[in-house]
């Protein structure tokens, strides 16, 4: 039903009138770079088990965006990182996500190891990235944003490409980088 003073259907309790809002989830992650190479994790979990991704995941209650991205890098890649700033913001309406990706670097030595959600963790040069084995379109987009930004000060965050402004497409194999 559409609650009074609202404009869309919601789940509403018939007894008490409580409205159960189903809003997008926030995903935080980072493109961690070291000497022109980027850190990728091979997923040990579904969805897309065995495919490569950036260290990223759902923001937890009580965390800031940066804290969540740092926690995800530690959990998935055993990496302690320092965020330089927001690299990209992606709207993935197909699955109800907003993704905030940071440009980051190792906080100290480039130390990393697979966490429980990763089968493998490696640093890849641009021409070594396993493009056909990336888990999600946003991984490709964030890697391109990282390359475009280089080491320059970050400007406005990258956003969904014009070919997928609302984040409705699944994997986009025709995009060549």
Answer yes or no: is 146 within a domain.
Answer: yes
C-alpha span between 55 and 84 (Å, rounded): 15
Answer yes or no: is 176 within a domain.
Answer: no
Task: Quickly state the pLDDT bin for 97 (edges 50, 70, 90).
Answer: very high
Number of domains within the chain: 1
Answer yes or no: is 13 within a domain.
Answer: no
Answer yes or no: is 168 within a domain.
Answer: no
Q: Is the model's pLDDT at 18 over the cut of 60?
A: yes
Task: Quickly state the pLDDT bin for 174 (edges 50, 70, 90).
Answer: very low
Answer yes or no: is 2 within a domain.
Answer: no
Q: Rounded mean pLDDT of 99-104?
A: 98
pTM exceeds 0.85, yes or no: yes
Q: Give residue-wise pLDDT tens across range 114-147.
A: 999 999 999 999 999 999 999 999 999 999 999 9
CATH number at residue 118: 3.90.79.10
Q: Is the model's pLDDT at 176 over the cut of 60?
A: no
Task: Quickly state the pLDDT bin for 171 (edges 50, 70, 90).
Answer: low
Q: Report the half-sphere exposure of 14 (CA within 13 A, side-chain side).
A: 0
Q: Rounded mean pLDDT of 57-84?
A: 98
Token look-up 């014009």 returns 162
Q: Which domain holds residue 60?
A: 22-163
Answer yes or no: is 4 within a domain.
Answer: no
């Amino acid at each position: 039903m559409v609650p009074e003073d609202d404009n869309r259907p919601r789940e509403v309790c018939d007894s008490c009138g409580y409205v159960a809002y189903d809003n997008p989830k926030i995903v935080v992650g980072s493109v961690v770079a070291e000497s022109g190479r980027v850190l990728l994790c091979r997923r040990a979990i579904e969805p897309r088990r065995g495919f490569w991704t950036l260290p990223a995941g759902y923001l937890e209650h009580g965390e800031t965006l940066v804290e969540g991205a740092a926690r995800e890098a530690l959990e998935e890649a055993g990496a302690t990182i320092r965020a330089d700033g927001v690299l990209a913001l992606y709207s993935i309406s197909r699955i109800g996500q907003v993704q905030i990706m940071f440009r980051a670097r190792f906080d100290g030595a480039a130390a990393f190891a697979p966490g429980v959600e990763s089968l493998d963790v490696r640093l890849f040069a641009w021409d070594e990235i396993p493009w056909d084995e990336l888990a999600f379109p946003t991984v490709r987009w964030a890697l391109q944003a990282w390359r475009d930004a280089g080491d320059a000060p970050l400007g406005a965050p990258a956003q969904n490409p014009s070919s997928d402004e609302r984040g409705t497409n699944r994997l986009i194999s025709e995009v060549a980088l």
